[in-house]
Structure 1
Amino acid sequence: MKRIIAMCIALCTVMTGFAQVDSTGTQNEGDTIRVGGMVIIRSGKGADGKNGRHGISYRTRKVYKPSNVSTNWGIIDLGIANYVDNTNYGSAEAQAYAPGSNENYFDLKNGKSINVNIWIVTQKVNLIKHYVNLKYGVGLELNNYRYKAPIRYDDKPDANLTNPPIVTLDPEVALGNRHYSKNKLAADYLTVPLMLNFNFTPNRQRAFGLSAGVSAGFLYSARNKTITSDEGKRKAKDDFDLERWKLSYVGELSLGFLKLYGSYAFKSMYKRGLDITPYTVGFRISNW
């Protein structure tokens, strides 16, 4: 009897010890006790997973340690493309580029203009204890601007004119001879971003922080694609007097799994006639 009582007292003492919280960092969570980075699990099974007299197993919790230089491949951005139109359509320059144009000429369809960025490779370099980092990379910036009006870009302007018209309003629509189901300008850039990154949680793989900087993009492809009732699919390929280089302010906001991005160009995307400054905003798919 004394042995049974002694065993009961010892068992109660052990169970009471497991139920307490150690102020030095030991915590009890039901059948789990955390001691710093070590986790002790109480169960009816031994550490080998079999029933036995050892009912305690140990597990060490992994701590994320970022490297000084990390590389990420294949980051994808999905968002909207839009612009701010400050063009003076009464000016001779605007009328030379788009005869008869007005404030509604280049209006975009709501929610139809998209931006997709494919960052081929991006690197992050530790500057100050992983709280401040330098981010840079290279990728493709793809923008599709979908128009409301039946405007057309001319890929074969009159070479005899100093500043030949580029954009015209399709007269066949007014005559009822043609209907547009798609009308877009695609402008694609090879882009290199450079940002300063502020990571508020450097020991978490899913960071909370922000990045800000600039990007330089080179226009490698531009085309006006239309689909009409009588012509079907039509593509006009040219630079359409778009600026070859696009410099932009860029930023990123990281909220764990959720990542947002945005960009705003320094100036108009056109060399002449139009004062249209593009911007983008959307979601970023990345494991950083």
Structure 2
Amino acid sequence: MNKNILLLFFLLMALPVWSQVKPDTLVIDGVTVIRDNEPDTVTAPEKKGLFKKLNSSISPKNFKTEWGIIDAGVSNYVDNTNYAGSGAQAYAPGINDEWLTVNPFKSQNVNLWFVMQHVNLLKHVVSLQYGLGLEFNNYRYKQPVRYNPSPGATLNPPILSLDQTPGRTYKKNKLATGYATVPLMLNFSFTPYRLYPFELAGGVSVGYLYASRNKTITSDEGKKKARDDFDLRPWKLSYIGELSLGIVTFYGSYAPKSMYKRGLEIAPYTFGIRFRPVSIFSKIEAN
């Protein structure tokens, strides 16, 4: 009898010790919280961020391909036209330096690069970058100018005019151009083994004008589109550049030669932000 009582006593004494051997585990809003044996101590697993750490490293490849790159920026131009000259007056009788003033906040540039490839040339520091894509430029005019499709039988006819119709107001007036473009650049990477790069690229691009139109929206006519080449140059040669800072890439282009074949000396340029899906997804932390 005494032995049984003594055994029961030791079992009751050991019960609190056994209950503290295994820590408590709770799940709160999908997060596992572990309570240690020590009083008032709570340990939670470290939560991962959306993107990988800034000091993450990579093993660069000799050949890299990116798909579906999108540019979003602004279109504008440098106007060196002599508006008093015979060429400008033949293209647009009565034109002055205010006719083709654009709204810089509404003149947009959007580019779609189907493919962009990088070929290593020197220790992943210097690489050749080339691709294929489409460039879209919208020039929103402040003045009610209109482009008129060129009649084929007339040599150097007037193309541009100022609409002075009484009572007519313009809600939108723009020239839209589309180019099929091939860029070629040398890329210099100052951090070739880092996931978040510091890169600078520069080169040239050649674009072919495949579409151009003048779109207007007025109070009495509504929406109208005039499609023609409007004596724009069919080819565009541009200096181009790209700057990559971690997850953000900036781009720019400048065509030193006028976009018009005659009359006007207007050199277009663009700049904006480049969205590179392959590069962005490679920096996202896996769950």
Q: TM-score, normalised by structure 2?
A: 0.76
Q: 2:225 aligns with which of 224, 232, 235?
A: 235
Q: Flag as ranges the 4+ runs of structure 1 deviating above 2 A.
A: 157-161
Task: Tell me, yes or no, if the aligned pair for 2:207 and 2:236 is still in contact at 8 Å.
Answer: yes
2:68 alignment partner in structure 1: 74
Shift of 1:258: 1.4
**Mapped partners of 1:278, 1:143: distance in 2:** 10
2:29 alignment partner in structure 1: none
Q: 2:206 aligns with which of 204, 213, 216?
A: 216
CA deviation map 1:103-138 (0-9, x unaligned): 101000131100001000000000001000000000
Local SS of the residue matching 1:236: strand
**Structure 1: 5+ residue runs without aligned partners?**
1-43, 45-60
1:274 alignment partner in structure 2: 264
User: 1:170 aligned to 2:170?
Assistant: no
User: 1:152 aligned to 2:146?
Assistant: yes
Range 71-80 or range 157-166, more displaced: 157-166
**Structure 2: 5+ residue runs without aligned partners?**
1-35, 37-54, 280-287
**Mapped partners of 1:223, 1:66: distance in 2:** 44
Please give the residue correspondences for 1:3-152 in structure 2 after superposition, counting only pairs within 5 Å.
63-152=57-146
Shift of 1:255: 0.5
**Mapped partners of 2:210, 2:152: distance in 1:** 22
CA deviation map 1:116-164 (0-9, x unaligned): 0100000000000100000000000000000000000002x34443110
**Mapped partners of 2:237, 2:184: distance in 1:** 11
Task: Tell me, yes or no, if the aligned pair for 2:74 and 2:104 is still in contact at 8 Å.
Answer: no
**Mapped partners of 1:213, 1:96: distance in 2:** 35
Local SS of the residue matching 1:203: coil
Local SS of the residue matching 1:96: helix
2:189 alignment partner in structure 1: 199
Equivalent residue letter for 1:103: D
Shift of 1:240: 0.4
Shift of 1:250: 0.1
1:187 alignment partner in structure 2: 177
Equivalent residue letter for 2:261: K
Equivalent residue letter for 2:251: Y
User: 1:252 aligned to 2:242?
Assistant: yes
Task: Tell me, yes or no, if the aligned pair for 2:90 and 2:156 is still in contact at 8 Å.
Answer: yes
**Mapped partners of 2:250, 2:200: distance in 1:** 9
**Mapped partners of 2:95, 2:56: distance in 1:** 63
Structure 1 or 2, whichever has the larger Rg, is 2
Shift of 1:63: 4.2
Q: TM-score, normalised by structure 1?
A: 0.76
**Mapped partners of 2:109, 2:78: distance in 1:** 16
**Mapped partners of 2:213, 2:193: distance in 1:** 45
2:4 alignment partner in structure 1: none
Equivalent pairs: percent with the same residue? Answer: 61
